[in-house]
A and B are shown apart, each in its own frame.
Chain A
Amino acid sequence: MSVDTEIPANARFGSGATLEITQIERELQRLWKDAAENSTKSGGGPVVRACSMSLVAPCSNDLQFEHVATVVEQTALRQPCRAILVKIDLDNKKEEIDATVSTVCALGGPDQKRVCHEQIQIFAAAGSVKSIAPSVLALLVPDVPAYVWAPCEKLLATPILPELSLSADAILLDSHRYSEPFRALERANAIASAHPANRALENLNNAAGSSGGFGVLDLEWVRLQTYFDATATLFEQQGARAMIHDLRTLRIEFAAREVTAAINNTADAKNAARTTSRDWITPALYAGWFASRLGWTLGGERAMTSPGLAELQFEGAGGRRVTLVPRIANDRAGAILNIEFSSSVGRARIARAPGAETGDLSVEVSRLSGPANISYRFQTLDDAEALSRALTRAPRDIYYERAMPISMAFAPK
């Protein structure tokens, strides 16, 4: 993908503690005009300004900011949007805020057409944090949805995200990238519960018929769709459907980092990977999805049954439980490797070797002649793909909301 960015030289739009919003708008108009003229001159056809959303991404450090800018550029190629990237210098207590504007164009689509989006970058010192939300609000594109992406975990603990969320339709997270994903999700869920759009729905008391409101969209949830689909496919195999309503236990093995030298010599340590809270989020989201899909209700608290294993009990006959088991493996931390489902009539399994894109779905039902075994290709989404898919969803996802209480119960104590 070749990206070309038009940033006017020396164009900064801050004057100390405030941003010149009108000038930013004017500059954007000028840039579009220039881009159209340049494109027509070079025979590239008109540059058309279509916009289906505003995407706001606040960040607090340089490295993350660069990554975010790249992901946003790739996402904007799929979703015509106005991107507002905010970099906050938390160490600088002065009252300073500044901005640059640009149109970023890349060749994309079947005919390699120039697809352009507007990008506004706001740089704010910690002393000016209060000016950020009003400035962003003034810069949102009217009438189309606004999404706040929170790539920087640190900012979740500041008032900036709730403030930005007030004028948005959803907050986007990437829980698997956070060091404390459960806490981050808890904060995001709290932002959603307190959001006026959701409160208004609650007051209307007819929320069941409504699709509006403010939602939380987790990119890791989007990446997990391929496991959800694998599960659905597994239970469509001969014999497996009969097991569904009799499922008792679910055991999820997921990849964790290496064992530490300190526990390496103990007997248990062979199985006990060194895990952080971050490693548990992916299997916990899957477990929440699975149990809520079956309508299971929690019957107890998270328990560590042996070193490194976390377990949740559910109500109902036959001892329903979900166990998460970390395993040292050469794969992304938290990546799901094996899932075992068992019921009184048989067992089913999703197995993927560490690092492999393809896995096996197998069913063993006692009555079935011969084991059913099929291969399944898991989709891997890069950040831009995951973000772009999240942006095409309705802001509120009923399945995600139902899974949350169960997933959150797996938070390490």
Chain B
Amino acid sequence: MTLALRDAPAAEANPFRGSQDGNSHKVDACSIVIFGASGDLTKRKLLPALYNLSLDGFLPSPTSIVGVARKPLPDDDFRAQMKEGIQQFSRRRPANEAAWNELASRLHYISADFSDAGSYEKLRADLESVEKRNGTPPNRLFYLAIPPEFIAVAISNLTKSGLLARSNGNWSRVIVEKPFGIDLESARQLNRQLQQYATEKQIYRIDHYLGKETVQNLLVFRFANGIFEPIWNQKYVDHVQITVAETVGVEGRAGYFDKAGVTRDIIQNHVLQLLSLVAMEPPVAFDADAVRDEKVKVLRSLRPIRESEVQILTSRAQYAGGASGGKTVPGYLQEPGIPPESTTETYAAIHCAVDNWRWSGVPFFLRSGKRLARRATEIAIQFKAPPHLLFRGPAQARMEPNVLTLRIQPDEGISIKFTSKVPGPAPVLQPVRMDFLYGTSFGVEPPEAYERLLLDAAAGDSTLFTRADEVEAAWSFITPILDTWKSLGIADLDTYGSGTWGPRSADDLIARSGRAWRRV
């Protein structure tokens, strides 16, 4: 064959890297240092993700994994705890012994107190000796799986001890877990603190929704198919609904949840991220800054909701007792650990407007809640009716608008609803749904969100991480709503039965625009 082909991406320093194998991801060997190694997130998500990456051969060989927490713990005890986590939570279990042993040989534990600057000298020395033993180059990925109040102090100490410094082509990055602040002011302050000690390029703010396969597919769906983009605008779209519904209640996280509420916990981050992906303009390139530039423009285009509009454009409520999943469940205020006078919302709905050329006049309805009828996360794009209705009379009764649904979980897939003629002599019309389900099409298990995100961070790709300006733009929209709710006390706080689709006030909210919530 003599043809010249398009060359691979610009040659890198290592001429042996890069291939046309879609399964390979260029990752430097590095140390993944997890702060908060004895915590819930490490055991349930991070170690299972690292195990699966290692099983699939995605972790370059001399990678070291180092857990850090306060309690002193021998390496072997830490390994035993992590193995237990993998046996319990990995998507592939029981653990493959050979793969586990290989991973375990690179797994270490160091005890240190994050708030104590002195601990970092020891951490640095211990880390260097682990790296030397394993042959790991000094590339470091610090994962801060720690309570939010420790983030700033941890980063400042990392910097002061030189652990975040980069030299000789080696890198240091920090992954920060949500929540990024509790309102605009605290988010700004956290960003300022982070940026004082690290560059924005070193900071990876994780929103695990972005690691989900179907969320990434949203971009592929929109920008790799030519047929949707021309109708993805105010001319053809009637409105958009984004739903994140859970059936569970507070489930042992009462303390955290009651301080946050569903708006801080889900809407400010996950739901607004979904909205920005649905509404963004095509980026000039599929790279971190180009994609995030477009997303942040959407967030900045969200029309602020004024204090006087809050009761019209938002709804908030708490679940009352009832039946959910065949069980009798208590109301929110009766849950253990929730103060009886709490005004924290377990459900919220917001009617937003995206004030830009593409979406002018198209409402976006967002809702999220606990103890709802079904667990479902989806984005539904409802299209306008045809300009002239040919089919009248009884047949028209069954004419429903076209809806394109992107289901994020469960039953990930895409469906489209359209109207079809029922076979027979009469012009009877009926809506039909055409489904594409990942589960019945591809028999392979998609990677967990944390797998993808850890790998991207190790590869230096921050496309699926949130940038400082995105976080602040999202808080700019949400904070005035939260402030107004706070000042209203219980005046607008509704309730809804557990196992239902939410409060009456949310139905009224959408009904005011002549629309209704979809039955998910």
Question: Which residues of A are in contact with B by a Cβ distance under 8 Å?
Answer: 45-48, 50, 76-80, 106, 108-111, 113-116, 189, 192-193, 198, 201-202, 207-211, 213, 216, 222, 225-226, 228-233, 235-238, 241, 244, 290, 293-295, 357-358, 361, 372-377, 379, 389, 392-394, 396-401, 404
Q: Is the CB of B21 within 8 A of A225?
A: yes
Residues of B within 8 A of A290 (CB): 16
Give the contacts of B122-168 with A (CB-CB under 8 A): 134-137
CB-defined contacts of B19 to chain A, threshold 8 Å:
225, 228, 399
Question: A244's contact among B15, B28, B436, B442, by CB below 8 Å, is which?
Answer: B15
With a cutoff of 8 Å between Cβ atoms, the chain B residues found around residue A198 in the complex are 1, 3
User: Majority SS of interface residues in chain A?
Assistant: mixed
Q: Do A236 and B137 touch (CB < 8 A)?
A: yes
Inside 8 A of B105's CB, which chain A residues have their CB?
A: 375
Q: A108-B443, A232-B17, A237-B137 provided; 8 other pairs, C-beta below 8 A?
A: A45-B440, A106-B443, A193-B1, A231-B16, A232-B16, A372-B135, A377-B61, A398-B6
Query: In the complex, A374 Cα to B439 Cα: how many Å?
Result: 39
Query: A393 near B102 (CB under 8 angstroms)?
Result: no
Interface string of B419-442 (1 = CB under 8 A from A): 000000000000000011111111
Number of interface residues of B (CB under 8 A): 48
**Contacting A80 at CB < 8 Å: which of B14, B24, B136, B441?**
B441
Task: Say what secondary structure dominates the interface of chain B.
Answer: loop
Q: Which of B2, B105, B444, B446 has the most CB of A within 10 A?
A: B444
Give 21 A-B contacts (CB < 8 Å), ordered by A residue.
Answer: A46-B440, A48-B435, A50-B436, A108-B444, A114-B440, A207-B5, A216-B1, A222-B21, A225-B19, A228-B19, A229-B57, A290-B16, A293-B15, A374-B134, A374-B136, A379-B57, A398-B6, A398-B20, A399-B8, A400-B20, A401-B3
Q: In the complex, which residues of chain A have a beta carbon less than 8 angstroms from the beta carbon of B7?
A: 208, 398
Q: Is A109's CB under 8 angstroms from B443's CB? A: yes
B478 near A: Cβ within 8 Å?
Answer: no
Beta-carbon contact of B21 and A389 below 8 Å: yes
CB of B445 closer than 8 Å to a CB of A: yes
B440 touches A115 (CB 8 A): yes
Asked if B57 contacts A377 (CB within 8 A), the reply is: yes
In the complex where A198-B1, A397-B20 touch, is A111 in contact with B61 (Cβ < 8 A)?
no
How near does chain B come to A144, taking the closest CB pair, in angstroms?
13
Whether the pair B442, A207 counts as a contact (CB closer than 8 A) is no
Q: Which residues of B contact A293 (CB under 8 A)?
A: 15-16
A179, B61: Cα distance in complex, Å? 34
Complex interface: chain A residues within 8 A of B410 (CB):
111
Contact: A235 with B5, CB < 8 Å? no
Q: Is B308 an interface residue (CB 8 A)?
A: no
Please state if B29 and A373 are interface contacts (CB–CB under 8 Å).
no
Cα(A226)–Cα(B56), bound, Å:
11
Q: Look across to chain A and name the residue whose beta carbon is closest to the beta carbon of B441.
A: A50
Give B residues with C-beta under 8 Å from A: 1-8, 13-17, 19-24, 28-29, 54, 57, 60-62, 91, 98-99, 102, 105, 134-137, 410, 435-446
Evaluate contact between B60 and A392: CB separation under 8 angstroms.
no
In the assembled complex, which residues on chain B have CB atoms less than 8 Å from the CB atom of A237? Answer: 62, 135, 137
Do A236 and B29 touch (CB < 8 A)? Answer: yes
Report the minimum CB–CB distance from A38 to chain B (whole Å): 14
Q: Which residue of B lies closest to A359 (CB)?
A: B61
What A residues does B442 contact at CB under 8 A? 50, 78-80, 109, 115
- Chain B residues positioned under 8 Å from A231 (CB to CB): 16
B443 touches A238 (CB 8 A): no
Q: Say how far A191's CB is from chain B's closest CB, in angstroms.
A: 10
| A398-B5 contact in complex given A113-B439, A393-B21, C-beta closer than 8 Å | yes
Instruction: Name the residue on A nearest B16 (C-beta).
Output: A232
9 closest cross-chain pairs (CB), A and B:
A108-B443, A50-B441, A77-B443, A374-B135, A115-B443, A232-B16, A374-B62, A376-B61, A113-B439
The answer to whether B102 and A358 touch across the interface, beta carbons within 8 angstroms, is yes
Docked Cα-Cα span, A111 to B441, in Å, equals: 12
CB A319 to nearest CB in B, in angstroms, measures 20
Q: Is the CB of B15 within 8 A of A393?
A: no
Give the shortest distance, in Å, between B214 (CB) and chain A (any CB): 13
Which residue of the partner chain B has the closest CB to A48?
Answer: B440
Q: Does the CB pair B435–A238 fall under 8 Å? A: no
Residues of A within 8 A of B21 (CB): 222, 225, 389, 393
Of B60, B98, B441, the most chain A CB neighbours within 10 A belong to B441
**Cβ A78 vs Cβ B57 within 8 A:** no
Residues of A within 8 A of B102 (CB): 358, 375, 377
Residue from B4, B7, B443 whose CB has the most chain A CB atoms within 10 Å? B443
Most chain-A Cβ atoms within 10 A of its Cβ — which of B1, B91, B134, B439?
Answer: B1
In the bound assembly, the distance between CA atoms of A192 and B105 in angstroms comes to 46
Of chain B, the residue at the smallest CB distance from A190 is B1
Bound complex: CA of A116 vs CA of B440, how far in Å?
7
For A232, what are the chain B residues with a Cβ–Cβ distance below 8 Å?
14, 16-17
Residues of chain B within 8 A of A77, CB atoms compared: 443-444
Residues of B within 8 A of A78 (CB): 442-444
Q: Is A233 a contact of B62 with CB atoms below 8 Å?
A: yes
Contacts of B28 in A (CB 8 A): 236
- Asked if A207 and B3 make an inter-chain contact with CB atoms under 8 angstroms apart, the answer reads yes
Q: Within the complex, which residue of A47, A226, A295, A361 is in contact with B440, where a contact is CB–CB below 8 Å?
A: A47
Provide the residues of chain B in CB contact with A233, threshold 8 Å.
Answer: 29, 60-62
Among A109, A210, A226, A394, contact of B57 (Cβ-Cβ < 8 Å): A226
Q: Which residue of A lies closest to B135 (CB)?
A: A374
Contact across chains for B91 and A46 when beta carbons are under 8 A apart = no
Q: Which residue of A lies closest to B436 (CB)?
A: A50
Q: For residue B61, which residues in chain A have a CB less than 8 angstroms away from its CB?
A: 230, 233, 361, 374-377
A379 nearest CB neighbor, chain B only = B57
Closest to B91 in A: A110
CB A295 to nearest CB in B, in angstroms, measures 8
Smallest CB–CB gap between B22 and chain A, Å?
5
Contacts of A216 in B (CB 8 A): 1
